[in-house]
Structure 1
Amino acid sequence: MTTQAAPPPGSAGTPTASPTAEQFEAVQHSPEFAALRRSHRAFAFPLTVAFIAWYLLYVLLSNYAGGFMGTKLFGNINVALVLGLGQFATTFLIAWLYSRHAAAKLDPQAAAIKERMEAEA
């Protein structure tokens, strides 16, 4: 038994022309692409710097402030454990925030650029 895969949605079985290198370069220098890049960088760079600083603080405290990190908060739970779990929580929080940012701002801008390129091709 042989089956053929259905064409991708929206293609209706007709091949589409691919954009040329010149079209990609033109888009790269367009104001829309600059706005997309600026929106991505304005979100990603500050959060990256903040997370690296937070991680380095944790590592430095672990190495040089053993007494503080060993302070028991309740039961056998100490500061080091709480801050370590905070690293995981921060990672998931940043991923969730980025997915919201991408869905709300980056994806619509990228889709508009893609549609314009496909219309020109």
Structure 2
Amino acid sequence: MSSTDPRFIELRGRFRRFAFPMTVLFLAWFAAYVLLSAYAREFMAVRVFGHVNMALLLGLGQFASTFAITGVYARFARRRLDPLVAELRAEGTR
């Protein structure tokens, strides 16, 4: 197998088509949280219920989105990347 193998190029393309948009989406979400924390203090201080405010909910949302992205990537890799990787590895060990 070489880096010019069409299957390897397809594998790289599949990964990039998933990873780059997901990275941009997550970084935008993170930047929005940071900017809201810095410049929209009144909004972030709004109480949703009890002592829980928007800042806390959005901060917890950062953790939730990280776990969600990890789960989505694992499923994507299992279905779209791993079969092609296995095929390339099997050919490389012959």
2:32 corresponds to: 57
- Residue by residue over 1:13-67, the C-alpha shift from the partner in whole angstroms, topping out at 9 and shown as x without a partner, is xxxxxxxxxx5xxx21110000000000111110000000000000000000000
Structure 1: gaps of 5 or more residues: 1-22
Following TM superposition, by how much is the alpha carbon of 1:85 offset from its aligned partner in structure 2, in angstroms?
A: 0.2
Following TM superposition, by how much is the alpha carbon of 1:105 offset from its aligned partner in structure 2, in angstroms?
A: 1.0
DSSP 3-state at the match of 1:73: strand
The Cα RMSD (Å) is: 0.8
1:81 aligns with 2:56: yes
More helix per residue: 1 or 2?
Answer: 2
Q: What fraction of aligned residue pairs are identical, expressed as a percent?
A: 48
- Residue by residue over 1:74-120, the C-alpha shift from the partner in whole angstroms, topping out at 9 and shown as x without a partner, is 1111000000000000000000011101111111101101111112x
2:15 corresponds to: 40
Instruction: Give the one of 19, 43, 48 matched to 1:68.
Output: 43
Larger Rg: 1
TM-score, L = length of structure 1? 0.76
DSSP 3-state at the match of 1:29: coil
DSSP 3-state at the match of 1:28: coil
Equivalenced residue count is: 94
Structure 2: gaps of 5 or more residues: none
4+ residue runs over 4 A deviation: none
Give the Cα separation in 2 of the matches to 1:70 and 1:80.
7
TM-score, L = length of structure 2? 0.97
